[in-house]
Structure 1
Amino acid sequence: MVDVPRELVQHLGRLLAAERRARGTRTGTRALTCFYQALMVLVWFRKAEDVALLAAGFGVSRATAYHYRDEGIAVLAAQAQDLHTALRRVADDGWSHVILDGKLFDCDRLTETTLSVKGEVIDAWYSGKHRDFGANIQAVMRPEGLPIWTSEALPGHLHDTRCARTLGITAALNWSAADLDLPTLADSGYESAGHGIKTPIKQPAKGSRLAPDNRAYNRLLRGLRWQGERGFAILIGRWTTLRHTTASPRQIGDIVAAALHLTHVEYKYLPQSC
């Protein structure tokens, strides 16, 4: 038993069936039907089951189980909308703003290295802030916390602002503020990210207190932005496999995007074409 609605299994089954038709897969040549492949993929997302155990439970080889899982991730991630489309939909729905946040998604230790800004050799996927290995994922949420878009994975040593700029997120959010009248609220990690991204005003140097109007601004910003923390909680709380992955960290972006689409199906937040 797995606590996902049957409609979700059927939705993923239809996507897998379309993928098989596109590849020209002949009927009866697969070990599992589309429905049972979808069920296997959802068990992995929901319960983070070991793939070897999944293979045994569904009566397929371990290699086949990995292939079916990766195929399921790919067809789900392919349903993701681009950031500009997602922002237009939020604006059309009448929301006043969006929320930007980043999170380190935990993974196993890697040997990949890179050079720091000081020219030192460091672990590329190690975050000094979190003291853990993982991939940096950026997400945009609606004001009530539902995530509408997630980014591809970047190495964990990178700062949130650098990730947002590298992926073109700040440019898109500045555009939405100017053209859609849809500003973005973010924490102090995104300071100087552009006019469309509102961040808290920092404390003045030498221990001076903020002016009353600046303190009121920060309090209002915190009161509106805290819902954004729910965005990642919705994904991780529902899809257990996101809490830690043994897959390549570069694949985490697709895994999170796939989980986002599953969440949108459950929240009935899909375009009419789906």
Structure 2
Amino acid sequence: MIAYRAMLDVPRELVQHVARLLRAERRAVGTRSGTRALTCFYQALLVLVWFRKGEDKTTLGAGFGVSRATAYRYVAEAVRVLAAQAPTLHEALARVAGEGWSHVILDGKLFDTDRVAETTMSVKGETIDAWYSGKHRDFGANIQAVMRPDGLPIWTSEAMPGHLHDLTCAQQLDVTGALYWAASELHLPALADSGYEGAGQGIHTPYKQPADGRRLAVDNRTYNAVLRSMRCRGERGFAILTGRWRSLRHSTASPRRTGDTVRAALHLTHFEYRYLPESC
């Protein structure tokens, strides 16, 4: 194996921030000094290389002088620690409302994973692959996210099986309930695409084209145009995450862990955008 020098385009402050979180975790679990192969700083650096470049963990471990198993364990530990820093949905909504934003944007995305053998029963009573999305024709985990009007993601959900529709995921995760609360108590409505049609009060979706082929009324077309112009910035949310953190583009781990990985990347994104709460 040949070694070579490389650069990592993340600020040193981010490495130090992750190292501080890992140091606190080691103290919490009672890790004795000198018993780990890497210091907190170099573990943080290893983890950020994985997030930023999506490196194979065997190669990544070799580059840091640790075994494949240790590299996997270090990444899993850091993902758990970082994911725990992400805000709850109610906290995120209350903060956005307090900052004076007029609305939030709800969207969902299928995060690509390896093929999974788990099966489930469809609404038609047929046996189907639980993590296969017919819409995307691929295996993956459905992640729901809420974005500010400028596109910055403020919250991401647990992973849901890829065969489920966005509205079903939002309902089962009680995202819709939190958004009802935000609309009524915080005067913070949510905008969403047609996949959330019927979500309920406070979640605005476009009018669909009539099934009989008639054109929408002028008022409805105008409403859709305004909604589309306000919602389009929300498309940046997932692009910010997957564009910056390449490990999110494809996962070889259990798809149920995808939610933690995305939340960990969300915390890293909030650090780079200086959007962490003061307690951090």
Same fold (TM over 0.5): yes
What stretches of structure 1 of length at least 5 have no aligned partner?
none
Deviations 1:126-151 (A, max 9, x none): 00000000000000000000000000
> Alpha carbon RMSD of aligned pairs, Å?
0.5
Pair 1:265-2:271 in alignment? yes
What's 2:77 paired with? 71
Identity %: 75
Moved over 2 A (4+): none
The residue that corresponds to 1:25 in the other structure is: 31
How many aligned residue pairs are there? Answer: 274
In the TM superposition, residue 111 of structure 1 has moved relative to its aligned partner by 0.6
What TM-score does the superposition give when structure 1 sets the normalisation length? Answer: 0.99
Please name the residue that 2:236 is paired with: 230
1:215 to 221, 233, 236: 221
Normalised by the size of structure 2, how large is the TM-score?
0.97
Rounded to whole Å, the distance in 1 between the matches of 2:120 and 2:214 is 39
Say which is worse superposed, 196-205 or 4-13, in terms of deviation. Answer: 196-205
Counterpart check, 1:12 vs 2:13: no
Structure 2 match to 1:85:
91
Note if 1:46 corresponds to 2:52.
yes
The reply to whether residue 158 of structure 1 matches residue 167 of structure 2 is no
Cα drift, residue 205 of structure 1: 3.0
The answer to whether residue 143 in structure 2 is matched with residue 128 in structure 1 is: no
The one-letter amino acid paired with 1:198 is: H
1:200 matched to which residue of 2?
Answer: 206
Letter in 1 for 2:12: R
**1:210 positional shift:** 1.3
Q: Which residue of 1 aligns with 2:173?
A: 167
SS at match of 1:202: coil
Amino acid at match of 1:8: L
Q: Report whether the alignment pairs 1:114 with 2:120.
A: yes
Could you tell me how far 1:204 is from its partner in structure 2? 2.1
Q: Please, which of 222, 231, 246 is the counterpart of residue 240 of structure 1? A: 246
How far 1:39 moved relative to its partner? 0.2
Give the unaligned 5+ runs of structure 2: 1-6
